[in-house]
Amino acid sequence: MTTGLVLYGYWRSSAAYRVRIALNLKGLSYETRPVHLLRNGGEQHSPDYREINPQELIPCLLDGERVITQSMAIMEYLDETHPETPILPIDARGRARVRALAMTVACDMHPLGNLRVLNQLESQFSADEAQRGEWSRHWIATGFNALEAMLADNAATGRYCHGDTPSIADACLIPQLYNARRWKLPLGEYPTLQRIEQACNELEAFQLAVPEAQPDAPVSA
């Protein structure tokens, strides 16, 4: 489906990865405009990009003239403007559960291990690579412990985080698991998360969204 949607992202950003999954689940084609987070002092800080998103963060979605920032807001927007193939349940209780699972990743895990946060740990506390890894693993493990408890033995959990339809909760969880592996966090304590990941990764929507499949991924990745 031709949409005129443009996604500013970065291959390895887990927030951009979420939005790619959501776009794919909805079968919406989009143009990718890579913003290289490490090159030229961070292209997200360039005057041109700041004009589009004053927060100087990716992802950012253009829908014609409209600029939508923040991955969670983008996914909700896509669900409202393209209601076919919903990525949130219909009932308020289910929607709240899915959003709470998604926010556990988006508010309490991912922001703490973001590039800019690791850079600040380095500049303010001289944190070396090992210490930044310890920091990242601490927050990912804390969040995964909670998610495993929220998902295991819960009647609302199905093949995916909520029933048998992938949702924004899965779109947040899978990139966070990818991120956990980068930090070499052992995942043995999270059998439910791993089971859901396996189910998601069987879907083309998730396969096409992986960082290594993006046009801006380095050839060696």
In order of 13, 102, 181, the CA distances from 80 in angstroms are 24, 17, 33
Of residues 16 through 75, those in contact with a second copy by CB under 8 A are 54-57, 66, 68-70, 72-74
Question: Would you count residue 80 as binding a second copy (CB under 8 A)?
Answer: yes
Q: State in angstroms the smallest separation of the CB of 117 from a second copy.
A: 7
Q: Contact at 8 Å (CB) between 21 and 214? A: no
Number of residues in contact with a second copy under rule CB under 8 A: 44
Q: State in angstroms the smallest separation of the CB of 208 from a second copy.
A: 24
Question: Would you count residue 197 as binding a second copy (CB under 8 A)?
Answer: no
From 28-36, 116-124, 155-163, 182-190, give the range in contact with a second copy by CB under 8 A.
Answer: 116-124
* Residue 62 CB partners (closer than 8 Å, separation 6+): 5, 6, 7, 8, 52, 68
CA dihedral over 215, 113, 40, 129, signed as positive or negative? negative
Q: State in angstroms the smallest separation of the CB of 201 from a second copy.
A: 25
Tokens representing 170? 């899965």
DSSP string, 108-122: HTGGGGSHHHHHHHH
Residue choice 62, 115, 127, 187 for contact with a second copy (CB under 8 A) = 127
Q: Beta strand pairing status for 66-69 and 60-63?
A: antiparallel
Q: Measured from the CB atom, is 6 or 121 closer to a second copy?
A: 121
Q: Which amino acid is at 115?
A: L
Q: State in angstroms the smallest separation of the CB of 101 from a second copy.
A: 8
Rounded Cα gap, residues 210 and 13, in angstroms = 10
SS3 61: strand
From 131-139, 170-178, 182-190, 193-201, give the range in contact with a second copy by CB under 8 A.
Answer: 131-139
Q: Which spans of this chain sit near a second copy (rule: CB under 8 A)?
A: 54-57, 66, 68-70, 72-74, 76-77, 80-81, 92-93, 95-96, 99-100, 103-104, 106-108, 110-112, 117, 120-121, 124-125, 127, 131, 134-135, 138, 143, 145-146, 149-150
